[in-house]
Amino acid sequence: MKPDQFKALASLTSLRDSRTHRGAWLVLIEGATQTEAAQAVGVSQQAISKAVRRIREVKRLALKV
CA distance 20 to 42: 9
Domain coverage including residue 35: 3-64
CB 34 within 8 A of CB 57: no
How many domains does the structure of the chain reveal?
A: 1
User: Is the pLDDT at 34 greater than 90, yes or no?
Assistant: yes
Average the pLDDT over 22-46 and give the result. 97
CA distance 59 to 39: 25
* pTM listed for this prediction: 0.85
CA distance 36 to 15: 19
pLDDT classification of 7: cutoffs 50, 70, 90: confident
CB 28 within 8 A of CB 22: no
Average pLDDT across the chain, whole number: 92
pLDDT classification of 11: cutoffs 50, 70, 90: confident
For residue 60, the domain's CATH number is 1.10.10
